[in-house]
Amino acid sequence: MGFSGWRVVREGLSGNKGWTPHWRDASPKSDYDVVIIGGGGHGLSTAYYLAKNHGVTNVAILEKGYLGGGNVGRNTTIVRANYMLPGNSEFYSHSLKLWEGLEQELNYNVMMSQRGQIVLFHSDGERDAAIRRGNAMRNQGDDAEFLDREGVRKHLPYLDFGNARYPIYGGILQRRAGTARHDAVAWGFARGASERGVDLIQNCEVTGIDIEGGVVKGVQTSRGAIRAKKVVMITAGRSGQVAAMAGMRIPIESHVLQAFVSEGLKPCVDHVISFGAGHFYISQSDKGGLVFGSYLDLYASYAARGNLPAAEHVMEAAMAIMPMIGKARLLRSWGGIMDMSPDGSPIIDKTPTEGLYLNCGWNYGGFKAVPASGWATAHLVATGNPHETSARFRLDRFSTGYGLMDEEATGAQHNLH
């Protein structure tokens, strides 16, 4: 079933009776060429590109809940390519290019909106760091514009420019950054993968990984054993637990990250804005809600709900920079479990077990990575070699210390990235 303007009109005139389910709800077969554990954004995009780019279609995605019920459906939907270090910058640059053609690629409205992101800075030192990052972004071929205080005011007149504690010195604008509707991204990749023959199996929890003589043989699940030539672990916040099923102890800590949404308001915030002196960033959804996020809860946890100190922190930061938000009523808040790596950068690699692969370490920024991560993971699984954009995302960098990508210069402490 294809989507088009013409189709919408035709269905609208004929009672919307012609729409069909977006994907097949498959039951598990006894064996596959590739089994992907985890039906989040990265698992779904990996399956899609395995089928699309490499013709590998005897693939199953095993999801313990429902597709898109994890972080891919819980994030604040921001898409950008403003990383600084080699390794990350070419990867996220590739991802943003894929985002720009994603709706045509998937024939699905993911509501990609390149409304621009402004990251504010509030001191001379922060200005230097912002300019350095902006130059790195431009060197990579992505866009970055320096805005002084008046430049920011032109775009965001409603910010508090008189705040003595956090004066706004300026910002870096990336016009190509923006938002996309998170669950539509999951649905679009699911539909595209299913159309190409991938089995999407929901309510199927992987409970064990079968390994014989150092070679992966398949998985144990809540719906029985499934054999597989290759198994890919893509379970974000649950990565540590799933890798433990293969006897691996990986350098990932799980922390909750919270987000908040206000009641629906008339359009008032037409950018993504990031406060540079505290943990607060915001955009407005197409439904009108102000969607804003914060920082990690600083203790490791598998609870997908947050606590009040983090909520208090984000509200204070919001009020410091955008006092008008105090008039909006908060509608709801939620949490997702982040897979925090020691250097704040991801892992896409083989494991010591033949045929077993690992994709994790997305920290709090893996939504924007969804297309490029699937692209690179599919390449690795299909060809046995890392894709050029993900060659630095090696698992052994944490044991050798060589090739770490400490993007935020926070050192090897998971909860500070």
Q: How far apart are CB 40 and ligand FAD at their closest, in Å?
A: 2
Is residue 187 within the footprint of ligand FAD (CB under 6 A)? Answer: no
Is residue 205 within the footprint of ligand FAD (CB under 6 A)? Answer: yes
Per DSSP bridges, beta strands 31-37 and 224-233 are: parallel
Say whether 73 sits in a helix, a strand or coil.
Answer: helix
What gap in Å lies between CA 299 and CA 416, rounded to an integer?
11
Q: What is the token pair recorded at 198?
A: 């991938």
H/E stretch holding 360: strand 356-360
Q: How far apart are CB 167 and ligand FAD at their closest, in Å?
A: 26
Q: Could you say which of 234, 243, 273, 405 contacts ligand FAD (CB under 6 A)?
A: 234
CA distances from 144 to 115, 126, 284, 305, 327 (A): 14, 16, 22, 35, 32
Is residue 289 within the footprint of ligand FAD (CB under 6 A)? Answer: no
Cβ-closest residue to ligand FAD? 40
CA distances from 100 to 93, 165, 353 (A): 11, 38, 36
Is residue 235 within the footprint of ligand FAD (CB under 6 A)? Answer: yes
What gap in Å lies between CA 45 and CA 257, rounded to an integer?
23
Is residue 336 within the footprint of ligand FAD (CB under 6 A)? Answer: yes
Residues 359-378 binding ligand FAD (CB under 6 A) are 362, 364-368
* Number of other CB atoms surrounding residue 96 within 10 Å: 22
Is residue 236 within the footprint of ligand FAD (CB under 6 A)? Answer: yes
Q: Which residue, 39 or 134, has its beta carbon nearer to ligand FAD?
A: 39
Is residue 180 within the footprint of ligand FAD (CB under 6 A)? Answer: no
Q: How far apart are CB 256 and ligand FAD at their closest, in Å?
A: 8
Is residue 414 within the footprint of ligand FAD (CB under 6 A)? Answer: no
Residues 214-233 binding ligand FAD (CB under 6 A) are none
| Phi, psi for residue 263 in degrees, rounded to 5 | -60, 160
Count, residues near ligand FAD per rule CB under 6 A: 39
Q: Could you say which of 34, 35, 36, 37 contacts ligand FAD (CB under 6 A)?
A: 37
What gap in Å lies between CA 339 and CA 253, rounded to an integer?
6
Give me the 46-85 binding string for ligand FAD, x by CB under 6 A, dash otherwise: ----------------xxxx---xxxx-xxxxx-------
Q: Which residue, 237 or 344, has its beta carbon nearer to ligand FAD?
A: 237
Nearest to 37 by CA among 72, 6, 71, 65: 65
User: 384: which residues sit within 8 A by CB, 6+ positions away?
Assistant: none
| Phi, psi for residue 147 in degrees, rounded to 5 | -115, 130
Interacting residues toward ligand FAD by CB under 6 A: 37-43, 62-65, 69-72, 74-78, 205-206, 234-238, 242, 257-259, 293, 336, 362, 364-368
